[in-house]
Structure 1
Amino acid sequence: MIEAATDITEDAFLGGQLRLRQKRSGHRAGHDAILLAAATQAKAGDHVVDLGAGIGAAGLALARRVAGIHLSLVEIDPELAELARTNAAANGMTAKTILLDVTADAQAFAENGLGPDSADVVLMNPPFNDPARHRGSPDQARHSAHVATEQTLHAWVHAARRILRSNGVLTLIWRADGIADVLAALSRGFGSLSVQPVHGEAGRPAIRILVRAVKGGRAAPRLLPGLVLNDESRVPKNEVKEILEGRAVLPLAVP
């Protein structure tokens, strides 16, 4: 059951094209989810799976941009899964909401319609904060959504690899200082990597990386120009506003 209405907010995304209900406390969807959607390539007819979907922000933002995809939202938290289901319906979208741990075994995935080679596209925003350097929130839901264990990334990539068809595409967002971990996790079964750094401000180290990988891909890896979110006044740059408002996509989403 979703908590009382006073514990829920309704927020506008994509310049008001998408309105999402989410819990006032705990993990809240934001720029990372929208950037992930804007970096994901998909076309009508594709089966798209959002792993760790939360309230559905990334998957539904992608569905708003690309009509005709078959969207599955996978979430372990029952309250968030129910919010994802109601958010899809409230925005006039069709999505299958699946209550499932991303680290579950192949049989559990198959029982929920996610057997091997069943997806064309997977997108995911796994918990990525390093527990050695990040003091987790006392709120358990928020802690689980943000803090990774040593196995988190490998387990999530493994799940994506299992359900993706050959030449299927995985797009993910991760913290920039964990790029070595991302490359290691993708070294088995994925290739044709494209990486775009995301900087909070010009001249500062990247804070995120967006990564596109192809199951069985063999093309040389690409490092794309960085995306700078804010100008010198810490105001979102115009190109970023275009992306966040759903009027533009990132290079990773372009075939």
Structure 2
Amino acid sequence: MFAPDELTDDGFLGGRLRVLQPRRGYRAATDPVLLAAAVPAEPGQSVLELGCGVGVASLCLAARVPGLRLAGLELQPAYAALARENAARNGVALEVVEGDLARMPAPLRASFDHVIANPPYYPAGGGTGAADPGRERAMREATPLGLWIGAGIRRLAPRGLLSLIFGADRLPDALAALDARMGSTVVLPLQARAGREAKRVILQSRKGGKGTFRLLPPFVLHEGDRHDGDRESFTPPAAQILRGGGVFPFRLI
């Protein structure tokens, strides 16, 4: 577990959420906030987050949608403990279960209206590993992306929605992992700035969906063509999500 001096107390959604994170380990940034903003959950529905880390995506979703039944699965016990603490300090009912999605723990072998995930960004092998073991495990794939998606599909109720955010270079792998049970798939590219290559995407797919595949226009996060000093320079729609706790100005599915 983390000692108090190994943690930072960070604000999300313009300070509406206070989240403890490891100073040197994996630290949530914009991805889980953007993921939560894409999920069209409604009060009373159930949501499972695979690889919940310290709980940021689930907490952001709870801040926007009251009355959700939230569960999270986390492999690393220290991060699972932080997720429980963060849920308690923000007044959110989040059941966090420690375990491996490849061997789904019994308490989570149920059906959910939504399954969400921010899978590890880097594929297994190659590259320089992170110095911190927790960050390395969170950022580098040990369980193949296809198994993440397969685990999510199995946990979805009929007509349930799978929502993922990941690196754009993994999109072919993700689409290949969506089997015949899934349909109405939508991909939203995320651009740091207009005209730049999209480095991340959000993918949504519905269990039992019959719609055709759709590729949406890119969503731009920052104004201008370069970083301007210390200003965040978020576009108004991005600021409404990242600081205001809002949703995308369009519905993906």
Q: Does the alignment reach a TM-score above 0.5?
A: yes
1:237 alignment counterpart: 235
The worse-fitting range, judged by mean Cα deviation, of 46-55 and 182-191 is: 182-191
**How does 1:93-242 map onto structure 2 within 5 Å?**
93-104=92-103, 108-109=104-105, 111-112=106-107, 114-116=108-110, 118-131=111-124, 134-149=127-142, 152-232=144-224, 233-234=226-227, 235-242=233-240
In the aligned structure 1, how far is the partner of 2:121 from the partner of 2:169?
10
In the aligned structure 2, how far is the partner of 1:187 from the partner of 1:251?
29
In the aligned structure 2, how far is the partner of 1:4 from the partner of 1:120?
36
Amino acid corresponding to residue 136 of structure 1 in structure 2: G
Cα distance, 1:30–1:17 mapped onto 2, change above 3 Å? same
Gaps of 5+ in 2: 228-232
Amino acid corresponding to residue 5 of structure 2 in structure 1: T
The worse-fitting range, judged by mean Cα deviation, of 220-229 and 244-253 is: 244-253
In the aligned structure 1, how far is the partner of 2:90 from the partner of 2:251?
23
C-alpha deviation, 1:179, in angstroms: 1.3
Contact 2:52 2:58 in 1 (8 A): yes
Contact 1:127 1:152 in 2 (8 A): no
1:246 alignment counterpart: 244
In the aligned structure 2, how far is the partner of 1:252 from the partner of 1:209?
15
1:49 alignment counterpart: 48
C-alpha deviation, 1:251, in angstroms: 5.3
In the aligned structure 2, how far is the partner of 1:184 from the partner of 1:142?
27
Amino acid corresponding to residue 135 of structure 1 in structure 2: T
In the aligned structure 2, how far is the partner of 1:254 from the partner of 1:192?
10
**TM-score where L is the length of structure 1:** 0.92
Contact 2:123 2:140 in 1 (8 A): yes
Amino acid corresponding to residue 206 of structure 1 in structure 2: A
1:44-98 Cα deviation digits (max 9, x unpaired): 1111001100000001100110000000011011111010001011001111111
Aligned length: 247
Amino acid corresponding to residue 165 of structure 1 in structure 2: A
Amino acid corresponding to residue 250 of structure 1 in structure 2: F
In the aligned structure 2, how far is the partner of 1:174 from the partner of 1:50?
14
C-alpha deviation, 1:250, in angstroms: 1.8
The worse-fitting range, judged by mean Cα deviation, of 203-212 and 238-247 is: 238-247
